[in-house]
Structure 1
Amino acid sequence: MAVRREEEMPEESPATLKEILYARELRTNCQRRLLAEFGRPLVSFTLNIAGGRKAFPLAERTFREGKWLIARELERAGIPVAVYREDCGRTGYAGFYAVDAGAERVKRLAAAIEESGPLGRLFDIDVLRRDGTKISREDIGLPERTCLICGKPALLCSRSAAHPVEEVVRKTQEIMRSCFQEQYAGRVAQSAVRAMLYEVAVTPKPGLVDREGNGAHRDMDIFTFFDSISALAPCFRRFVQEGLDFRGEPRKLLASCRYSGLLAEDAMFRATGGVNTHKGLIFSLGVLCAAMGYLHGNGLPEDMDAVLEACSEIAAPARGELEKAPKGPPTHGEKAYSECGFSGARGEAAKGFPHVKSIALPLLRSLRKAGLSPNDAGVAVLLHLISRVDDTNAVSRSGLATYRAVQSEVQKCLSETSEPKELLNLARGLNEKFISLNISPGGCADLLAVTFFLSFLFPGPQ
């Protein structure tokens, strides 16, 4: 997989001082026209970007974020916007809002946005009274803004050129990049947590923990899963960040993520009192989160096929480790591989999750499109996975012959019906049988969670 990194700053020549000053004059004239035409206080929104390069992808995204925050804050405060005008070009981005509210009140809202986080430091949200005079921060009892570099008054550093422009530009890009990476990591990690919650909530699940019982388990229930999922939430953000920060071939990313994986397992065991609820899923969703981060951080395509290809490359070393003799007591996965040739979570990830891509995800999408609830669609998907997947967890608990016999039974039932109610009854009946045989298809449950995860991030056909 070739690595490509898009530059935040364009190669085109920067705007000249003359162009910047002319653009500033045009924006001032626009403010005057809007004040005269609408007779209302005016919000003027621009970005604090040093140097001549004012327009580039990160800056445009920052401007869009600021626009959304301003619109949301005005809406929350019940302040109507009489008109909005925008001026965007190589000299920068500007938005103007004529609003129906007192200027001082609006300025307080604007200052709250500017103080809301690092990205807000790059927002310059002026509020003009009806007569065109500007309300300062001091007018509403706030201190003046501070310098990005040293923390001293920004106006003082700007007028004295206290810092090289290049340093200020680097700091500006760093703030933008960091903010949007955190947003991205949060969105992907949230999808991972949501997928885990959906998986455990799907009911009935043969032999597995669900809302009706503990399945074939005596050491865990649904609350044990909730405890584990809550503890793992920040861990998935860390996996995404590992991918965002990594530069190199994806097959080398797994080594970088190993320690984060161990920390995630520690968090799980602390939360559950030593019960293994999600060890396999930490690996599967961890690889997926790292793959998402890797593609995003390197400016590569982020469609589902690209993500699964990246997973395959990232997980390849783990698949190779199964060929080696374990250094300590073998895990369930290692034992299943040595005895049955089942490669488990490592094999699924190294192959790009073929059962999810070809069976589970298309089925989930079609059932949801047909109107089934996430629960009923999830039960159907799980049954299809049980019928097709070599589940190392199930085999380690019941033996290969027993599991193959159960798979054949599920395959036969699925060939006879696809009615949702009948599948729910089938799953409930199988639960009793799985409990009696001590079968818990945890690997299939993990793949159900992976299916939900991909459906959240890629809701349409890929």
Structure 2
Amino acid sequence: MKKISLFDGTTITLEDILNARSARAERQKVLLAEGGAALVSFALNMPGPVKQSVTAKRVFEEGLREIRKAIESLSGTVLSPGEKDESGQPARKTAGKRGVILREETSHETTGSQAFFLLDLPADRIKRKMTEIEEYHALGRLFDIDVIGPDGIPLSRTQFGLPARTCMVCGENAKICARSGAHSAEIIAYTLDDLVHSYFRDKEADRLAICATRALLYEVSTTPKPGLVDRANQGSHSDMDYFTFVDSSATLCHWFRDMFCVGWDHADDSPEELFRRLQFIGKMADRAMFRATGGVNTHQGLIYAVTIIAAAIGKMMRTGSAEEIPEKELIEECRRIGRCSLQEKFGSSGKLTKTAFGARGEAAEGFPHALNIGLPAIRRWLAEGCSLNDASCAALLAIIAETEDTNMIRRGGSGEAERRREEAREILRSMTAETIVADISKLDSDYIRHHLSPGGSADILAISLLFCFCEEEGILTGEHA
């Protein structure tokens, strides 16, 4: 597996580097001449002849976000980097009487990205905040944040009793290692690439795992649900309750993270090879679920679905240049991975039949019921002013109305399952935002009385919620048409 690299960029000359340093120093003088109490100058510490790349820009944006947050915390200023004022500079909203940010400039050149903040804040307070970023952020060793006073002299760490910067390879004093040439360029580059690769992989894996765990918890918390476990009752189930699902969801969180990492780490594998890796981790997640629930199957179908989705997102984030993934592209990746399961079950043709259309079939087709029924229903009812709970209740009913739920067929037979689909359609025709809870509460009592449970539909609701949360987090763009 090839790691993402800081140094996949254009090589520049020593003259280019020296000219860029001179230009930066001149720009600092010009900005300081405009007034202000401090100037923050930000760039990246990138040893060697490559100073700019896709990954370097991504690291730079991480640092830029942290610097803005630090300025906000000191001043009560809320920055709006996407907006421009009349002079073409980033707009800002200020809590005080006057803005503390007198000017902000950002540029991206082959000689590296850089940013300047001219501030009306005490330089010593700013220096302490910037040093915290360099010391404690996971990528801080790559951040070169100078704080310059109105006299044009950079503030040093030693002035405030702060520790000297440490070497990114051995942890000793960075200046001593640099002067002595203690580490080769190859070792330094490898260390930095490993740091950056792990940081972005782990950050995105955590975001996905949180979305997936939220989806499981929100699905079981959605109340009322006909015949299903929710906060009000056990539905048609005697072997599980709300807390059984909570235990299972909490146990699965780190497995969802690992599923993403498998996709990221093995992005160059064929779909078949990736699927075999996912089978192994899926089985381990199944065992963890059964241990947490005392042998009760709460999420087996969802484990399969989330395995495919998490790995597909991990693979696409690893190989793509954009941080947000269009849902239509995710669907195709899920299909490629998911259809490997059908080939194992039905031979090389991977032919899909109605009887196969459970968790495997849903993944192999790119989760059509979640994307075309559940997610649009959630959006629609949220737009009507419903809470997420009520929107999820209504979305579940829409899924029941259009899905051949194998759990319903197993418990009531195909005829009863079809009658219940038509019943759901009839309720949806007249249902309003105000009647959602009352309508579904009546249905819940009836389902419990007849021992019916639309478990497959509940899984699709959870997947719909997962896509919804991924959109909120900026993981997916929401374009799946």
TM-score by shorter chain over 0.5: yes
Q: Tell me by how many angstroms 1:290 deviates.
A: 0.8
**What's the % identity of the aligned pairs?**
39
| Equivalent in 195, 198, 212 of residue 192 of structure 1 | 212
CA contact (8 A) 1:342 1:390 kept: no
Query: In the alignment, does 2:245 pair up with 1:201?
Result: no
Q: Tell me by how many angstroms 1:273 deviates.
A: 3.3
Q: Tell me by how many angstroms 1:18 deviates.
A: 1.1
Give the letter for the 2:104 counterpart: Y
| Equivalent in 429, 435, 441 of residue 442 of structure 2 | 429
Cα deviation 1:320-366 (Å, max 9, x = unaligned): 44449xxxxxxxxxxxx99x824311111111112223322233323
Distance 1:461 1:125 in 2: 38
Tell me which residue corresponds to 2:233.
213
Gaps of 5+ in 1: 325-336
TM-aligned CA distance change 1:59 to 1:289, over 3 Å: same
Q: Tell me by how many angstroms 1:196 deviates.
A: 1.7
Tell me which residue corresponds to 2:203.
183
CA contact (8 A) 1:342 1:392 kept: no
Tell me which residue corresponds to 1:55.
52
Query: In the alignment, does 2:50 pair up with 1:27?
Result: no
Number of equivalent positions: 445
Secondary structure of the 2:188 match is helix
Distance 1:4 1:313 in 2: 22
Q: Tell me by how many angstroms 1:115 deviates.
A: 1.7
CA contact (8 A) 1:199 1:449 kept: yes
Q: Tell me by how many angstroms 1:10 deviates.
A: 4.6
TM-aligned CA distance change 1:100 to 1:7, over 3 Å: closer
CA contact (8 A) 2:107 2:115 kept: yes
Query: In the alignment, does 2:295 pair up with 1:274?
Result: yes
Distance 2:404 2:430 in 1: 23
Give the letter for the 1:72 counterpart: K
Cα deviation 1:409-441 (Å, max 9, x = unaligned): 333444x42433444333212211211222111
Q: Tell me by how many angstroms 1:162 deviates.
A: 2.8
Tell me which residue corresponds to 1:15.
12
Query: In the alignment, does 2:69 pair up with 1:72?
Result: yes
Tell me which residue corresponds to 2:388.
374
CA contact (8 A) 1:9 1:57 kept: no
| Equivalent in 397, 408, 412 of residue 383 of structure 1 | 397
Tell me which residue corresponds to 2:360.
346
| Equivalent in 16, 35, 39 of residue 38 of structure 1 | 35
| Equivalent in 130, 133, 142 of residue 122 of structure 1 | 142
| Equivalent in 258, 280, 302 of residue 238 of structure 1 | 258
Cα deviation 1:145-177 (Å, max 9, x = unaligned): 222223332212222333332332333233222
Distance 1:254 1:225 in 2: 27
Tell me which residue corresponds to 1:334.
none
Query: In the alignment, does 2:311 pair up with 1:290?
Result: yes
Deviating more after overlay: 27-36 vs 279-288: 27-36
Distance 1:245 1:460 in 2: 25
CA contact (8 A) 1:251 1:316 kept: no
CA contact (8 A) 1:252 1:314 kept: no
Cα deviation 1:80-129 (Å, max 9, x = unaligned): 33322334311112222233333332222111111223311100112223
TM-aligned CA distance change 1:122 to 1:300, over 3 Å: closer
Gaps of 5+ in 2: 77-99, 472-476
Cα deviation 1:15-51 (Å, max 9, x = unaligned): 2111111111121122223233214122221110011
How does 1:126-137 map onto structure 2 within 5 Å?
126-137=146-157
Query: In the alignment, does 2:424 pair up with 1:404?
Result: no
Query: In the alignment, does 2:334 pair up with 1:311?
Result: yes
Give the letter for the 1:162 counterpart: A
Cα deviation 1:255-308 (Å, max 9, x = unaligned): 112232233223323333333221211111221111111111122783111111
Deviating more after overlay: 145-154 vs 405-414: 405-414
Distance 1:87 1:410 in 2: 56
Secondary structure of the 1:125 match is strand
RMSD: 2.7
Query: In the alignment, does 2:113 pair up with 1:100?
Result: no
